[in-house]
């Protein structure tokens, strides 16, 4: 119970709201606001309950600015409980998608899933170490990220082929993040003091990698909770193509430092790194590292090319065999290697495993060679001792006071934002591709939850954010993986390596890791799409090449930011373009037939620019609008509207706007339409809107403009029907030739009702008067010919 005055005691009625109404009575406002027939309010009543009269007064007082047509319908505030339920229904919550999967199908696909998991695990061990080196972290951190993400995605992911782990773009952004946070990227040094500092900086990078992973998890889970994954559609594919290709070029050039055998200092402007590489490649190169790196690079390139040729031949051969089987040419299909069919399935499977294990084979051979060279006194940089086992479970160091002053978590979140976006875009794009191949639905919001939980659990084990890999997912699809069981097998394999085989990784040369990165990153080169966009979509090509050049020459982070800004600017420029045509009627001539239907059966309206023989009525101007109206193009709409009327002259008496191509109208557009309607009424010209969508009708009604442009149902009828109705209302001779269609009759009836409604009100500009019939559409005029 609420009370505003401390005078006499309040009404004893339970839950009554009492208000001091004496000031209102003194001013006479309450008495004037009461409804007709209500008993007068006594001056002696200083405190009363909030009865119906008070409710009426408060409603009129506080809703005085609500449009009258909304007040006539009644304005009801939904209860708090229903608002809360509606808000909760808009949120998304995670679930376990594979629990409902039939268990017998797990057994059916188990052989292919186990084989695919082992194959990807063999590839993932060297790739994980290489990508960790790309992010300026110890190689063991790549194995941490390879293990945790697979376990988590198995329970929450909806893709049967996607495999999570370290990826190139996220690894590159991790390195950029360390630079943005002010963490030095120093490496091992021969000087003990410098080496101790480098080890401490490495420790800090490992701790901050977990913090960044936690920040990415918060962002991804927040995006999933509020279902904002659909906003990613505003990131143009042209921006992604230019950014991914530019990042791949930068990674290829920068990571070649391991192949040449010397360090390249980091610079905020990447072109300076290229200049340093060119000027020092002769004087600082290590011949042993060059021999090891170049040999590994060309070996991996050749074997990967052979594998891609085999995959292409397998797809073409499989399609050919299936076609022949459908036609009855073959009774049975056999395993084939490339374009060659074979009777030995084990040979095809062995070759598949061998070609998918090329990275591991190169690592094994290079490790043996590097061990021999180091034992014989050769200088070669290796990854060194790798600790066995997992990091212990602990929360990320959010306070991170490693340098005496902690890094604000807000700054970490800003750095984690592009990593979260890249993780989502890269993972969902590859998952969607293979979901289409395997004909199943992909839940994008649940994928956000899976990626967010993957980053969250990775942060508890000091791993940096994982992502969906193009190459490893393609390999799983090739082997025939159908369920997330393959991720469990892959994670178990990497776990076994962490527990029992890390001592074998000590002599892996960094030159080979650089070669692995360079060969893996070549699959991200997408110059073909750039070349095609040059001839098909020049605007998209400009966005691609701009993003590509900024990413390669200036900075990777700025490349993504500037690319998105450029795409948004181009989008706004395209939206601000207004496509409005003057349309006229097509007629049948003796020389050519431009309308294939009888004029009595209907009227065809076509743009005058495209159909020179189309004619427009001298008294009725018809405009077709094919663009949404918003603040960016309303000024252009106003100018073109007036310009189109100047072409017709003073004989114009009505304007019909075909709004069939309009979906949205914002407040600025409605204000301009209101202005145009008022100006035309001063000139004794009426404006009608036809073919309006339901959303446009609601906007016109909310702005109290619907009756001024024809009212319902006239605004939703086709432009042909509205045209003949207006023509009939003009009482012109050519109206007798109007097609007798039910919709035309309904349009005429709707216009008559609108005229009767308008005649009952007095307009401020004198255009209508009470009961007057001097509307310009009721004047009798004679026109010899409609054209």
358 and 436 within one domain: yes
Compute the Cα dihedral for 714, 715, 721, 722 and give only its sign.
positive
> Among 37, 57, 90, which residue terminates a domain?
90
Please give the DSSP secondary-structure letter assigned to residue 217: H
Alpha-carbon separation of residue 342 from 89, 327, 347 (angstroms): 56, 21, 8
515 and 658 within one domain: no
452 and 595 within one domain: no
Contacts of 723 (CB under 8 A, 6+ apart): 603, 605, 617, 620, 622, 656, 690
Compute the Cα dihedral for 84, 85, 91, 93 and give only its sign.
positive
359 and 258 within one domain: yes
Q: What is the CATH number of the domain that holds 593?
A: 3.30.750.24
Residue 787 maps to a domain: no
> Among 541, 568, 595, which residue terminates a domain?
568
Q: How many CA atoms lie within 13 A of 137 on its CB side?
A: 34
Number of domains in the chain: 3
Residue 107 maps to a domain: yes
pLDDT on residue 68: 54
Residue 97 maps to a domain: no
Q: What is the mean pLDDT of the chain?
A: 75
Residue 618 maps to a domain: yes
pLDDT by residue (tens digit) across 240-271? 889 989 998 999 998 888 888 888 888 888 99
597 and 488 within one domain: no
Residue 95 maps to a domain: no
Residue 3 maps to a domain: no
> What is the bridge-based pairing of β-strands 467-468 and 605-607?
unpaired
pLDDT by residue (tens digit) across 750-781? 666 666 666 554 433 333 333 333 333 332 33
Least confident of 405-409, 424-428, 544-548, 701-705: 405-409
DSSP-assigned states of every residue in 302-320: HHHHHHHHHHHHHHHHHHH
Residue 679 maps to a domain: yes
700 and 562 within one domain: no
485 and 362 within one domain: yes
Top pLDDT among 96 and 446 is at 446
Domain hosting 557: range is: 103-568
> Among 40, 61, 90, which residue terminates a domain?
90
CB-CB neighbours of 327 under 10 Å: 8
* Three-state SS at 146: helix
513 and 373 within one domain: yes
pLDDT on residue 351: 67
132 closest CA partner among 177, 91, 170 = 170
pLDDT on residue 505: 85
pLDDT by residue (tens digit) across 124-179? 888 899 899 889 898 889 999 989 888 999 889 888 889 899 998 899 899 889 98
pLDDT by residue (tens digit) across 309-361? 776 666 555 555 455 544 554 444 444 444 444 455 566 666 666 666 788 88
711: left (phi over 0), alpha (psi -120 to 50) or beta: left
What band does 442 get if pLDDT is binned at 50, 70 and 90?
A: confident
As a whole-number percent, the residues of the chain with pLDDT over 90 amount to 13
785 closest CA partner among 574, 585, 549 = 585
Give me 428's structure tokens: 């969902």
pLDDT on residue 33: 41
pLDDT on residue 99: 67
- The model's pTM: 0.71
Q: How far apart are CA 708 and CA 686, in angstroms?
A: 9
Residue 645 maps to a domain: yes
613 and 509 within one domain: no
532 and 590 within one domain: no
237 and 202 within one domain: yes
Alpha-carbon separation of residue 708 from 107, 474, 627, 755, 776 (angstroms): 69, 60, 22, 11, 14
pLDDT above 60: residue 107: yes
Mean pLDDT of 534-557: 91
What band does 54 get if pLDDT is binned at 50, 70 and 90?
A: low
Top pLDDT among 85 and 125 is at 125
Alpha-carbon separation of residue 449 from 174, 410, 465, 747 (angstroms): 21, 22, 14, 53
538 and 676 within one domain: no
């Amino acid at each position: 119970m609420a009370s505003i005055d401390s005078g006499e005691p309040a009404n004893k009625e339970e839950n009554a709201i009492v208000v001091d109404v004496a000031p209102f009575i003194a001013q006479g406002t309450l008495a004037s606001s009461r409804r007709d027939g209500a008993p007068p309010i006594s001056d002696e009543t200083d405190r009363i309950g909030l009865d119906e009269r008070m409710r009426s007064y408060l409603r009129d007082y506080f809703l005085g600015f609500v449009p009258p047509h909304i007040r006539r319908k009644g304005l009801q505030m939904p209860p708090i409980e229903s608002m809360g339920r509606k808000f909760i229904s808009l949120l998304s919550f995670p679930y376990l998608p594979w629990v409902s999967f039939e268990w017998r199908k797990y057994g059916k696909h188990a052989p292919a899933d186990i084989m695919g998991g082992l194959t990807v695990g063999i590839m993932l061990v060297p790739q994980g170490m290489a990508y960790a080196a790309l992010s300026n972290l110890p190689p063991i951190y790549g194995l941490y990220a390879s293990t945790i993400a697979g376990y988590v995605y198995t329970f929450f992911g909806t893709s049967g082929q996607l495999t999570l782990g370290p990826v190139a773009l996220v690894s590159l952004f991790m390195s950029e993040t360390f630079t943005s946070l002010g963490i030095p990227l120093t490496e091992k040094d021969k000087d003990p003091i410098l080496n101790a500092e480098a080890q401490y900086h490495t420790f800090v990078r490992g701790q901050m990698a977990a913090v960044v992973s936690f920040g990415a998890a918060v962002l991804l889970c927040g995006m999933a909770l509020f279902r904002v994954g659909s906003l990613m559609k505003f990131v143009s594919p042209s921006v992604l193509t230019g950014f991914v290709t530019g990042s791949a070029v930068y990674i290829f050039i920068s990571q070649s430092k391991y192949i040449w055998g010397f360090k390249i200092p980091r610079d905020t402007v990447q072109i300076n790194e290229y200049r340093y590489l060119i000027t020092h490649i002769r004087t600082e190169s290590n011949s042993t590292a060059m021999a090891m790196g170049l040999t590994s690079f060309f070996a991996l390139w050749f074997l990967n090319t052979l594998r891609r040729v085999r995959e292409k031949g397998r797809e073409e051969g499989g399609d050919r065999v299936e076609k022949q089987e459908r036609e009855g040419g073959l009774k049975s299909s056999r395993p084939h290697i490339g374009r060659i069919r074979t009777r030995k399935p084990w040979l095809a499977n062995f070759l598949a495993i061998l070609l998918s294990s090329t990275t591991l084979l190169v690592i094994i051979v290079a490790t043996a060679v590097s061990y021999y060279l180091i034992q014989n006194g050769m200088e070669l940089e290796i990854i060194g001792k790798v600790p066995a086992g997992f990091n212990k479970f602990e929360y990320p160091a959010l306070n991170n006071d490693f340098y005496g002053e902690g890094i604000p978590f807000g700054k970490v979140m800003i750095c984690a934002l592009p990593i979260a976006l890249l993780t989502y875009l890269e993972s969902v794009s590859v998952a969607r591709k293979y979901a289409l191949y395997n004909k199943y639905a992909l839940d994008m919001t649940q994928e956000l939850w899976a990626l967010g939980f993957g980053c969250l659990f990775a942060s508890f084990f000091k791993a940096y954010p994982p992502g969906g890999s193009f190459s490893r997912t393609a390999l799983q699809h090739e082997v025939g993986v159908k369920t997330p069981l393959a991720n469990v097998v892959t994670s178990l394999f990497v776990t076994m390596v962490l527990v029992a085989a890390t001592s074998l990784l000590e002599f892996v040369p960094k030159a080979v890791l650089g070669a692995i990165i360079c060969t893996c990153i070549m699959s991200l080169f997408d110059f073909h799409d750039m070349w095609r966009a040059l001839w098909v979509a020049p605007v998209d090509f400009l966005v691609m090449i701009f993003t590509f050049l900024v990413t390669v020459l200036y900075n990777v982070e700025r490349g993504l930011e500037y690319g998105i800004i450029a795409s948004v600017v181009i989008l706004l420029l395209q939206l601000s373009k207004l496509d409005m045509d003057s349309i006229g009627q097509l007629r049948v001539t003796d020389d050519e037939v431009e309308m294939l239907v009888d004029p009595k059966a209907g009227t065809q309206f076509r743009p005058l620019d495209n159909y020179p023989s189309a004619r427009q009525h001298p008294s009725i101007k018809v405009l077709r609008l094919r663009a949404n109206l918003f603040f960016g193009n309303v000024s252009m709409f106003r100018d073109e509207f007036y310009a189109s009327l100047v072409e017709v002259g003073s004989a114009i008496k009505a304007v019909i706007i075909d709004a069939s191509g309009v979906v949205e109208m914002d407040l600025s557009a409605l204000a301009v339409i209101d202005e145009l309607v008022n100006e035309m009424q001063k000139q004794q010209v009426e404006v009608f809107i036809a073919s309006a969508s339901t959303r446009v009708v609601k906007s016109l009604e909310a702005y109290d403009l619907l009756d001024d442009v024809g009212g319902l149902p006239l605004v939703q009828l086709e432009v042909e029907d509205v045209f003949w109705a207006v023509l009939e209302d003009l009482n012109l001779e050519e109206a007798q030739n109007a097609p007798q269609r039910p919709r035309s009759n309904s349009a005429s009836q709707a216009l008559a009702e609108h005229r009767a409604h308008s005649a009952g009100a007095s307009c401020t500009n004198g255009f209508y008067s009470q009961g007057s019939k001097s509307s310009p559409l009721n004047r009798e005029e004679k026109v010899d010919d409609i054209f």
